[in-house]
Amino acid sequence: MSALDALDERQREAASMLRGPVAVLAGAGTGKTRVITHRIAHGVDTGAYSPQRVMAVTFTAKAAGELRGRLRALGVGGVAARTFHAAALKQLNFFWPTVAGDSAPSLIDNKVRMLGQAADAMRLRPSTATLRDVAAEIEWRKVSMMSIEQYAELQRPVSGIRPEQLIELQTAYEALKDERRQLDFEDVLLACAGMLEAEPRVAAAVHEQYRHFTVDEFQDVSPLQNRLLELWLGDRRDICVVGDASQTIYSFAGAQQRYLLEFERRYVDATVVRLETNYRSQASILTAANALMKGRPGALALTPAGAPAEDDEAPTVTAYDSESDEAAGIADTIVRRIAGGAAASDIAVLYRAHAQSAVLQQALAARGIATSVLGGTRFFDMPEVRQAVLALRGAAVAPNDAGFLPTVRDVLRGLGLTDEPPQAGGAQRDGWEARRAILRLAEEAPPSTTLRVFADDLMARAKDQHEPTLQTVTLSTLHAAKGLEWPHVLLAGWAEGSLPISYATSFENIDEERRLAYVGITRAARTLAVSWARSAGRGERSPSRFLAEIGTTARGTGILRDVAPTARRAARQG
């Protein structure tokens, strides 16, 4: 069976182009990861690629782990699927002893802590929040490839510190880092790029090792990452980039979508394939997404795969009097979804800022619904999970005649797993859900699975961050939700000042907020519910301008169905 057999026509076209330059413009839900992995597998199967000569670069360790897992499932091993930083660090550690004659510098584990130490030496007492903002500025400056002097000319303000102190603090931070012979996260990319530029023998060795490049989420590359990619490529052109300009949501961190948008200009002979068939969402959801991005640079026109479903529910928008009312309404909607047969893990509530999660957690806990906050403690880092993995590994080497599944169940019961969950909310419920997720993995394992194989699989999952699904409602910021999907999505806080957020004032900032809204909409597969609150504290709010753009001006018309009569409006009408 060919690696191309499972692809649609456009996906097959993209995966068949084994020599670069190739740009795959892949809209939300169009199968970009499938294309990436099947393209690499096809190259290996046909002999065009040697796996050890392929580098697949992405932005998160989880995404890199997913690429490796999918490639393994296709029978392909040996491909370097890594983040930019992991690839650069590996090269730095390998070549540094040869170039410099000693070991590579160590990495600092906390930029804010070192900034605090540098501030102490300057007799400054900035708040932790200010130090975090300064750390973000340092990261932005470095990925933008600016010196401190160039950065100073921009006069970017940071609250809690004067402009001249900001520059002095950055200078002191760099000096302290050099004194301790340490590198920060961004220095890894800078040092690797500098080594490749200054050492022809290092560049030649890297060019010999890696000959075929694939870059996922290319809309998110920074100037520094793009420069490093250019150095990895050298004068070769065998590169495939995959991305969606409409999902550029990290401009604040240095991402520049222009590298994707201008790819055809840079490589005039590039093959460009547009993936616009969406396999995730109902037609009405895609209509809303397309309306929001209409006319924007690089926007793709998403179309549903197959005919529109008969049970396609029109997305809804609901206005509430207050944020607490909104949270209660969202919780009630989720209760009805679960009562109608939806699993809690099929539901997500997405919002713009972390601060919005507390009232939602409270409202859901009051109704007995367990939640997981995306971006919290990783599953395999949870104490309960680490304890369970160690216990299962121990049981795997001990004499046991009970059988695989009964043994897993007994081990987990000994650690606190009960038949019924504790009351919703809190650490105890989190631990129960984690142990229950491990038991589900065991229940879903092939009949021939042994305890040793299962324990090894858990270790492999931990390494690749391949986390099981918890039976909880997911709460997440829009940023953290990128790349994920759920059957039922509720988008909270669609009011001016919240989305777009209050400090987004320029055209570019508002456009980034629009792309965030687009990311939120396209996470939904079956149903989408949008809501906003007329008041926040003592302040009055108006609906997000994005609601008007996608059509919510009158009940029952437009793209979203307005179900907005709240108690206050009902009272006026009564």
The domain in which residue 150 lies consists of: 109-179
Indicate the residue among 410, 436, 464 that finishes a domain: 464
370 and 480 part of one domain = yes
Indicate the residue among 275, 299, 327 that finishes a domain: 275
> With pLDDT > 70 as the criterion, what percentage of the chain qualifies?
93
61 and 125 part of one domain = no
* Kind of pairing between the strands at 371-373 and 473-477: parallel
| Domain annotation covers residue 100 | no
Give the residue-averaged pLDDT of 216-230. Answer: 96
pLDDT at 559: 59
The whole-model pTM stands at 0.83
Q: Which residue has the tokens 């500025």?
A: 137
Do the Cβ atoms of 133 and 160 come closer than 8 Å?
A: yes
- 426-444 and 383-397 are packed helices; what angle lies between their axes, rounded to 10 degrees? 40
| Domain annotation covers residue 103 | no
Q: Report which DSSP code applies to 501.
A: B
Amino acid letter, 569 = R
- Report phi then psi at 159, rounded to 5: -65, 145
| Domain annotation covers residue 99 | no
Residue 414 makes CB contacts below 8 A (sequence gap 6+) with: 391
Peptide bond into 487 cis (omega under 30): no
Residue 517 makes CB contacts below 8 A (sequence gap 6+) with: 292, 478, 491, 494, 499, 544, 546
335 and 212 part of one domain = no
Do the Cβ atoms of 545 and 500 come closer than 8 Å?
A: yes
DSSP sequence for 17-38? --SS-EEEEE-TTS-HHHHHHH
Q: What is the dihedral of CA 265, 270, 271, 277, to 10 degrees?
A: -30
140 and 194 part of one domain = no
pLDDT above 80 (res 561): no
Indicate the residue among 126, 147, 179 that finishes a domain: 179
pLDDT at 276: 96
Give 323-336 pLDDT, tens digit per residue: 889 999 999 999 99
Known binding residue 98? Answer is no
Residues 448-475 as b/e (b if ≥16 CB within 10 A, e otherwise) read: ebebeebbeebeebbebbbbbebbbbbb
Higher pLDDT, 447 or 513: 513
Query: Which segments of 397-552 are extended strands (E)?
Result: 473-477, 486-491, 524-533, 535-536, 539-540
pLDDT at 396: 84
- Report phi then psi at 270, rounded to 5: -65, 145
Do the Cβ atoms of 227 and 78 come closer than 8 Å?
A: no
Amino acid letter, 331 = A
Amino acid letter, 256 = Q
Q: In whole angstroms, what separates CA 402 from the centre of its chain?
A: 41
Q: Is the dihedral of CA 129, 130, 131, 133 positive or negative?
A: positive
Residue 172 makes CB contacts below 8 A (sequence gap 6+) with: 118, 119, 121, 122
pLDDT at 3: 79
Give 146-167 pLDDT, tens digit per residue: 999 999 999 888 888 899 999 9
Known binding residue 30? Answer is yes
Known binding residue 33? Answer is yes
Peptide bond into 308 cis (omega under 30): no
**Euclidean distance between CA atoms 185 and 89, whole angstroms:** 9
Conformational region of residue 7, where left means phi above 0, alpha means psi within -120 to 50, and beta covers everything else: beta
pLDDT above 50 (res 555): no
Residue 193 makes CB contacts below 8 A (sequence gap 6+) with: 88, 224, 227, 228, 231
362 and 388 part of one domain = no
Can you read off the two tokens belonging to residue 228? Answer: 């490093």
| Domain annotation covers residue 96 | no
How buried is residue 9: exposed, middle or buried, by Cβ count under 10 Å (0-12/13-18/19+)? exposed
Q: Is 178 helix (H, G, I), strand (E, B) or coil?
A: helix
pLDDT above 80 (res 536): no
32 and 142 part of one domain = no
510 and 545 part of one domain = yes
Known binding residue 341? Answer is no
- CATH code where residue 548 lies: 3.40.50.300
Give the residue-averaged pLDDT of 58-64. Answer: 90
452 and 428 part of one domain = yes
Amino acid letter, 562 = D
Known binding residue 394? Answer is no
144 and 30 part of one domain = no
Known binding residue 28? Answer is yes
In total, the chain counts a number of residues equal to 574
Do the Cβ atoms of 490 and 330 come closer than 8 Å?
A: yes
| Domain annotation covers residue 93 | no
What's the pLDDT band for 538 if we cut at 50, 70, 90? low
Number of H helices, E strands in the chain: 24, 19
Give the residue-averaged pLDDT of 406-426. Answer: 80
483 and 541 part of one domain = yes
Known binding residue 26? Answer is yes
Can you read off the two tokens belonging to residue 120? Answer: 């102490």
Structurally, the chain folds into a number of domains equal to 4
Residue 357 makes CB contacts below 8 A (sequence gap 6+) with: 351, 373, 475
79 and 127 part of one domain = no
Known binding residue 32? Answer is yes
pLDDT at 90: 95
**Euclidean distance between CA atoms 475 and 280, whole angstroms:** 20
Give 256-295 pLDDT, tens digit per residue: 999 999 999 999 999 999 999 999 999 999 999 999 999 9
Give 459-494 pLDDT, tens digit per residue: 888 877 677 777 889 999 999 999 999 999 999 999
326 and 241 part of one domain = no
Amino acid letter, 79 = V
